[in-house]
Amino acid sequence: MTTTIGVLHPGEMGAAVGAAARLNGARVVWASADRGAATQARARDAGLEDVEECARFVARLHDLGCRVALDDFGAGYTSFRHLKMLAVDMVKIDGSFVKGLTQSRDNQIFVRTLVDLAKNFNLKTVAEWVGSDEEAEMLEGFGIDYFQGFHFGEPDFELKW
């Protein structure tokens, strides 16, 4: 499981998040600048087998002022149970359901259902792997809050600050 750790300010916050991640058996695998004013860190751990421990980790991150996203929602280890047990701030809808969305009625139904579920829990939504204007427009119509994908730009591993 990959946990996206909110938006962080450079400096002490990053060190504090790294320490919180290490205390919970995770490690920070990358960080990137967001418009030069904040940093987004991503931690990776073994999975969500111990949901109570993950919930404590999320609580520690919230105590540090972080927002937490549940990554790859709808696939793998993430499930509806995690929405209830983990106090996350947003869900990232797995890109496998977004890729080719305009041609797949099944994926359209699935994504709309995930968005409705997230909204009912007052969670923001992120669509991964957005690859075209048509997909972005459809996702916007479904109520997606944020978009990721090559349609908007390719990853840049160079820190901007």
CATH at 127: 3.20.20.450
Structural domain harbouring 78? 2-147
**Residue 125 falls inside a structural domain:** yes
Contact 64, 20 (CB under 8 A): yes
pLDDT of residue 4 exceeding 60:
no
Note the pTM of the prediction, 2 decimals: 0.67
Cα separation, 95 vs 74, in Å, equals: 10
Q: What is the pLDDT of residue 113?
A: 93
**Residue 129 falls inside a structural domain:** yes
Cα separation, 113 vs 103, in Å, equals: 17
> Which residues on neighbouring strands pair with residue 103, listed in sequence order?
none
Question: In which band, very low, low, confident or very high, does the pLDDT at 88 lie, cut at 50, 70 and 90?
Answer: confident
Q: Are strands 124-127 and 146-147 parallel, antiparallel or unpaired?
A: parallel
Cα separation, 54 vs 60, in Å, equals: 10
**Residue 155 falls inside a structural domain:** no
Q: What is the pLDDT of residue 112?
A: 97
Cα separation, 11 vs 18, in Å, equals: 11
Q: What is the pLDDT of residues 21-70, one digit of tens each?
A: 555 554 443 333 333 333 344 444 445 567 788 888 888 888 888 888 87
